[in-house]
Amino acid sequence: MNSNVKLPVDIRIGVIGGGQLGKMLIEASRPWNIQYSVLENDLNCPAAALANHVILGGLKDAESIQKLAAECDVLTYEIEHINSRVLMELEESGKTVIPSARTLQIIQDKGLQKHFYQKHAIPTADFVICDNPAGLAEAVKSFGGDKVVVKQRMGGYDGKGVDIVTKSDIQTGLFQSPGPCVVEYFHENITEYSVIVAADQFGNVVTYPLIEMYFNPQSNLVEFLFSPAETTPDLEAECRNVAMHAVRELKSPGLFAVELFVTQSAEVLVNEIAPRPHNSGHHTIEGSYTSQFEQLNRILLGLPLGNTEMIQPSAMINLVGGEGQTGAYKLKYAEKLLSEPGVYVHLYNKSEIRPQRKMGHITVMAETLQELLDKAGKIRDWAVFE
């Protein structure tokens, strides 16, 4: 099947959530003049200044989501912690929701997500589900190794709700889970990758080149990533195949980030899937022929998918609030950054800085991967606020 949508198009898009992902989604739509409504509980949110209309309301509030749906042709979301039940009702009543409400429900619950992987032969770390936190000590007995990963089933975000814990801390009661959780086998010395996957409304699915990540060990936030990854064509192909397979099985259009672990024995495992543009895909704004945000616009509008190839090797550095930073903020080395060729500064228009808060990001482009890594390494030191 194919698109027969024509530009200019008279489709209004509603986004649940008005953060930086919503902001960049609207930015990418501007050459096509798409009408955007945003639901957020803060009129100073990043997407507000760009949206054509902002509905003030909670992201879990059914009435607010219905209000958004009533004025839009297509609904999407830029955060998982929203009311998926009302999305399902809206779908039943004929509204287009992308990705589907069922997809969101699977992804919202890390227990359901793991069952989904198992059911569809999507490789993932071994796990047990522990719905009664008191039974955690018993549950970890079956795992080899000293440590396990404990993931809260609901509500995790940006590394929050995920703990790497020793089995002895669990058995002595030093670590206690606050709620139902998934316990996973802990793979030592894994490499983390991400694949952005785009699925259109007609069943076509494409992947972006593999993205390699560097995480800050303290904050567990992505600090630095680059693409193409420094790996073999075989591993690149396997990662992209696994990611594409996982998204195909969701049977929903959308723009997804599939986070992968590659173990020391070169096993590719799906860690989790985000059903939205992702921090690990921000370099595509400048580095790819079609950015993840333009791609999601194409998907939402029923247009054909864009080319996912890279124009040049690219890196992305997050601009996050430093320790003790609050209130007003300025980039300390704005002039240095803007004087460097192939460097792009994105600020998210947040009213105040906070420690670890994502305030923006920097894209770095270079003609070769080696040049890119050298440049990104230098520029990382300038990615600070004063």
The residue from 347, 369, 373, 384 that contacts a copy of itself (CB under 8 A) is 347
Q: Judged by CB under 8 A, how many residues of this single chain contact a copy of itself?
A: 40
**Rg of the chain on CA atoms, in Å:** 21
| 327 touching a copy of itself, by CB under 8 A | no
| 119 touching a copy of itself, by CB under 8 A | no
Residue 86 tokens read as 């009302």
The helix (run of H) or strand (run of E) holding residue 181 is strand 181-185
| 231 touching a copy of itself, by CB under 8 A | no
Least Å from the CB of residue 333 to a copy of itself:
9
Tell me whether residue 67 or residue 332 sits nearer to a copy of itself (CB atom). Answer: 332
| 189 touching a copy of itself, by CB under 8 A | no
| 304 touching a copy of itself, by CB under 8 A | yes
- Rounded CA-CA distance 256/261 in Å is 16
* Interacting span for a copy of itself (CB under 8 A) from 65-73, 239-247, 269-277, 341-349: 341-349
User: Which alpha helices (DSSP H) does 181-280 contain, by range?
Assistant: 233-250
Strand partners, 53: 37
| 349 touching a copy of itself, by CB under 8 A | yes
- Rounded CA-CA distance 39/195 in Å is 28
The residue from 43, 70, 266, 338 that contacts a copy of itself (CB under 8 A) is 338
- Rounded CA-CA distance 154/80 in Å is 10
The residue from 90, 122, 320, 331 that contacts a copy of itself (CB under 8 A) is 331
Least Å from the CB of residue 303 to a copy of itself:
5
* Interacting span for a copy of itself (CB under 8 A) from 71-79, 104-112, 264-272, 296-304: 296-304
Closest CA to 184 of 223, 156, 225, 210: 156
Q: Looking only at Cα atoms, what is the longest distance across the chain?
A: 63
Cβ contact 251:271 at 8 Å: no
Cβ contact 292:284 at 8 Å: yes
The residue from 63, 264, 311, 370 that contacts a copy of itself (CB under 8 A) is 311
| 7 touching a copy of itself, by CB under 8 A | yes
Quote the DSSP letter at residue 211.
Answer: E
* Interacting span for a copy of itself (CB under 8 A) from 103-111, 123-131, 237-245, 297-305: 297-305
Angle of CA points 128, 133, 135, to nearest 5°: 70
- Look up residue 142 and give its amino acid: S
Residue 316 tokens read as 């992305």
| 4 touching a copy of itself, by CB under 8 A | yes
Angle of CA points 68, 72, 74, to nearest 5°: 110
Residues 260-289 within binding reach of a copy of itself (CB under 8 A): 289
| 1 touching a copy of itself, by CB under 8 A | no
| 306 touching a copy of itself, by CB under 8 A | yes
Query: Alpha carbon 91 to chain centroid distance?
Result: 23
Any idea which residue has 């998204």 for tokens?
Answer: 247
| 27 touching a copy of itself, by CB under 8 A | yes
- Look up residue 51 and give its amino acid: A
Tell me whether residue 4 or residue 189 sits nearer to a copy of itself (CB atom). Answer: 4
Residues 41-100 within binding reach of a copy of itself (CB under 8 A): 49-50, 52
The residue from 110, 153, 167, 346 that contacts a copy of itself (CB under 8 A) is 346
Quote the DSSP letter at residue 245.
Answer: H
Which parts of this chain interact with a copy of itself (CB under 8 A)? Answer: 2-8, 27, 30-33, 49-50, 52, 289, 298, 303-304, 306-307, 309, 311-312, 329-332, 334-335, 338-339, 341-342, 344-347, 349, 365
